[in-house]
Amino acid sequence: MPGAGRQRIDKWLFFSRVIKSRSLAAKLVQSGRVRVNGQKAEQASDLVKPGDVLTVNLDRRIGVLRVLAPGDRRGPYEEARLLYEDLSPERSPNDRSLPDAVAPIRDVSGGRPTRKERRGADREPPVEE
* DSSP 8-state assignment for residue 19: S
CA distance 34 to 120: 41
Q: Report pLDDT digits (tens) over 84-127.
A: 999 988 776 666 555 554 555 656 666 787 888 888 877 766 55
Which CATH superfamily groups domain 7-86?
A: RNA-binding S4 domain (3.10.290.10)
In the three-class reduction of DSSP (H, G, I as helix; E, B as strand; rest coil), residue 56 is classed as: strand
Contact 13, 84 (CB under 8 A): no
In the three-class reduction of DSSP (H, G, I as helix; E, B as strand; rest coil), residue 36 is classed as: strand
The pTM of this model reads: 0.69
Tell me which H or E stretch contains 66.
Answer: strand 62-67
Q: Where are the domains of the chain?
A: 7-86
